[in-house]
Amino acid sequence: MLCEKCQKQAASVHVTKIINGQKTEMHLCQNCAQSLGEFDLNIDLPNFFASFFDHSHFGGQIAQPKACPACKLTLEDFRQLNQFGCSECYHTFRKEIEPLLRRLHGSSSHEGKIPAHAYASLSIERQIKMLREKLQQVISIENYEEAARIRDQIRALERQAQG
Amino acid sequence: MGESWIKKDGPEGDIVLGTRIRLARNFAEIPFPAVANREQARQVLQQAKQFPSSLRQLTNVKFYELAEVEELERQILMEKHLISPEHTQNTNGKGVIISEHEDISIMVNEEDHLRIQVLFPGLQLKKAWELANQVDDLIEANVKYAFDPDIGYLTACPSNVGTGMRGSVMLHLPALARINQLGNVLRSVSHFGLVVRGLYGEGSESFGNIYQISNQISLGHSELDMLDHLAKVAEQVINSERQARQYLLQEQNRTASEDQVYRAYGILTNARLITTKEALKLLSTILLGIDLALIPDLERCSVKELMVEIREAHLQKIMGQSLPPEERDRLRASLIRERLKR
């Protein structure tokens, strides 16, 4: 396969991006990949972060200098450090990092583990939500025996949540 | 420190050297390590000193303050994958907790306050996750983690946010390398949202045909879904390596394969000077020879162990002295000759 860009050299770098579920593919030679910066995307996160805020995500204007009230970190600091300063930064810069999270992870909502002790009630809510989805599934295949069982589980969890 | 995962074989152990699960966790009220001041770093260390008692019901672990661990010992911990290369430097305020079987390590004040790691031999992603999950729960019973219901566990770098989890499998892929298919296979792995790295993580070189495959994203899926995906891709790679190994055993290739293995054996059992890089390359060929039953009377685990023992810090420790570079190559060669005697 020839490089999509120069059409001269063999494509040796294959880039797949998934942004908000939209998949794009590129097949490039080493040189073009490097000049487009696509090659760096995988191996050099720091550059990626810095350039991310260069784009016109703030309507072409430079973002208002804003600092985290807890650790005083600014977006400029984040670009230098490639890290946040504290957990409060995630609240302070939530709007700014949402697109970054989607770009990094293809998603901006957590589906994994919840701290068992500190967020016990949230964990119950999550379980109820999952059981409700399962309930719909078993009803759709007319497995009423299983549905009754799941309904009982949901009731028990709801009682637990109320305390 | 007792028996390590390096010395044992696990499921798919002929190809998968090891499995690792890492969980990044931070305390809610303290700035992340890069920003924390001395006092705050101390606070984190003080909390971590309590973990051995939190974890007692599960296993015996020991806390070490890295500033009090000698440099050579720190290097050894790194060579065993118990701490990261970054964690061996600027030891101020850093710590590590290690279990007696070296299957659990918790780095304290690395990029995040806590990096909980579980290391198992062979391909055991689910089991390793279950243990990491248990360790995490026991710690969380006594501390408040930085967590957000919408975006999950909060980490210093947004690339780890969400589950804070990275699962990795360490694969030995000599046959694919031999038939020049390694590049193709590893490229297709990266098409599936996974990352391929060298032996010691980010930016490290790959020696001895050993590669780590890990999940890149940490947000948007459950831990088990991510690990399931990783396991499926790893299994494909394992299958490709198995096919390549069968190919090397075919009638028309067998003599050439034997030749490669015995040449490697010849050099390793006769060389008087050898670098780590050359030794790892040849030991990788010997390991393949053992797996294909091309070379008798050599024990797989002892060759695997030798691949760690010939690294700088281990070598210095075995020899009981600090060695100038030119001496290392000589002693490495003599250690290998000794160990490979049949």
DSSP B28-59: TTS--TTT--HHHHHHHHHHHTTHHHHTTTT-
Is A1 inside a domain boundary?
yes
A121 and A136 together in one domain: yes
Contact status, residue B23 vs residue A113, Cβ threshold 8 Å? no
Residue of chain B with shortest Cα separation from A12: B187
- Rounded CA separation A16/B221 (Å): 19
Give the gap in angstroms from C-alpha A86 to the nearest C-alpha of chain B.
Answer: 4
Domain match, A94 and A120 both: no
Please give the ipTM for the structure prediction: 0.84
In a domain, A147, yes or no: yes
d(CA B109, CA B81): 17
> Please, are residues B51 and B139 in contact by the beta-carbon 8 Å criterion?
yes
> pLDDT digit string (tens) for B143-158?
999 999 899 999 999 9
Provide the strand spans (E) within chain B: 16-25, 61-65, 95-99, 104-108, 114-121, 147-148, 152-153, 165-172, 194-197, 210-215
B167-190 tens-digit pLDDT: 999 999 999 999 999 889 988 998
**Could you tell me the residue range of the domain that residue A104 belongs to?**
64-112
Tell me the nearest-neighbour CA distance from B212 into chain A, angstroms: 15
Task: List, in order, residues 6 or more apart from B103 with CB less than 8 Å away.
Answer: B5, B118, B119, B120, B131
Residue B107 main-chain phi, psi, to 5 deg: -80, 135
Q: Write out pLDDT tens, residues B265-304.
A: 999 999 999 999 999 999 999 999 999 999 988 998 889 9
| B219 Rama sector, left if φ>0, alpha if ψ -120 to 50, beta otherwise | beta
Q: Do A86 and B147 touch (CB under 8 A)?
A: no
Confidence tier at A12 by pLDDT (50, 70, 90): confident
CB–CB contact B158 A71 (8 Å): no
**Tokens 């566990």, residue?**
B153
3-state secondary structure of B298: coil
**Residue B180: C-alpha distances to residues B174, B183, B204, B326 (Å):** 10, 7, 21, 33
Establish if B152 touches chain A: CB-CB under 8 angstroms: yes
B137:A119 CB<8 A: no
Contact criterion met (CB below 8 Å) for A36 and A5:
yes
Average pLDDT, rounded, for chain B = 92
Asked if B163 contacts B207 with a C-beta cutoff of 8 angstroms, the reply is: no
Q: Are residues A151 and A123 in the same domain?
A: yes
Lookup result for tokens 């063999």 = A10
DSSP structural state of residue B165: E
Residue A28 burial by Cβ neighbours in a 10 Å radius (0-12, 13-18, 19+): buried
The fraction of chain B above a pLDDT of 90, given in percent, is 80
Same domain, A107 and A122: no
Residues of A in contact with B220 (CB under 8 A): 105-111
Residues of chain A in contact with residue B217, where contact means CB-CB under 8 angstroms, are 104-107
Q: Which residue has the higher pLDDT, B4 or A120?
A: A120
Q: What are the chain B neighbours of A70 within 8 Å (beta carbons)? A: 31
* Structure confidence at residue B174 (pLDDT): 95
Residue A3 shares a structural domain with residue A36: yes
Looking at the structure, do residues A107 and A136 belong to the same domain, yes or no? no
Is the pLDDT assigned to residue A41 strictly greater than 50? no
Nearest CB to B145 within list A70, A90, A118? A118
Residue A53 domain-assigned (yes or no): no
Question: Minimal CA–CA distance to B196: which of B217, B210, B180, B212?
Answer: B212
Q: How far is CA A99 from CA A15, A55, A58, B191, in A?
A: 20, 11, 11, 22
Q: Clarify whether residues A104 and A128 are in a common domain.
A: no
Residue at a domain's end among A112, A132, A152: A112
Contacts of A60 (CB under 8 A, 6+ apart): none
Considering the domain architecture, whether residues A108 and A143 belong to the same structural domain is answered as no
Pair (A107, A80) in one structural domain: yes
The string of DSSP codes covering B220-252 is SS-HHHHHHHHHHHHHHHHHHHHHHHHHHHSHH
**Among candidate residues B335, B272, B267, the one with its CA nearest the CA of residue B307:** B335
Residues of A in CB contact (< 8 Å) with B are 14, 16, 18, 42-43, 45, 70-71, 73, 81-87, 90-91, 97, 100-101, 104-119, 122
Flag whether A57 is in a domain.
Answer: no
Q: What is the pLDDT of residues B226-244, one digit of tens each?
A: 999 999 999 999 999 999 9
Rounded Cα gap, residues B232 and B125, in angstroms: 11
Question: Is this structure's pTM higher than 0.95?
Answer: no
Residue % of chain B over a pLDDT of 70: 96
**Per-residue confidence (pLDDT) for residue A20, from 0 to 100:** 57
Please tell me the distance in Å from B341's CA to the nearest CA on chain A.
42
Residue A147 to residues A144, A153, A156, B138, Cα–Cα distance (Å) = 5, 10, 14, 34
Q: Which residues are CB-contacts of B255 (< 8 A; sequence separation ≥ 6)?
A: none
Closest Cβ opposite residue A116 in set B137, B149, B159: B137
Nearest to B152 among A85, A100, A112 (CB): A112
Residue B140 has pLDDT above 60, yes or no: yes
Tokens of A23: 């998949």
Q: Over 70: is that where the pLDDT of B40 sits?
A: yes
| 3-state secondary structure at position B320 | coil
Total tally of structural domains belonging to chain A: 3
Alpha-carbon distance values, B280 to B55, B216, B284, B306 (Å): 37, 27, 6, 9
Q: Which residue of B30, B140, B218 is in closest CB contact with A105? A: B218
Do A3 and A28 sit in the same domain of this protein? yes
| Structural domain includes residue A59 | no
Tokens of A155: 């009731």
Confidence bin at A43 (pLDDT 50/70/90): very low
Pairing of strands B165-172, B16-25: antiparallel
Instruction: Report chain A's mean pLDDT, rounded to a whole number.
Output: 78
Question: Is A121 inside any structural domain?
Answer: yes
Q: Are residues A108 and A125 in the same domain?
A: no
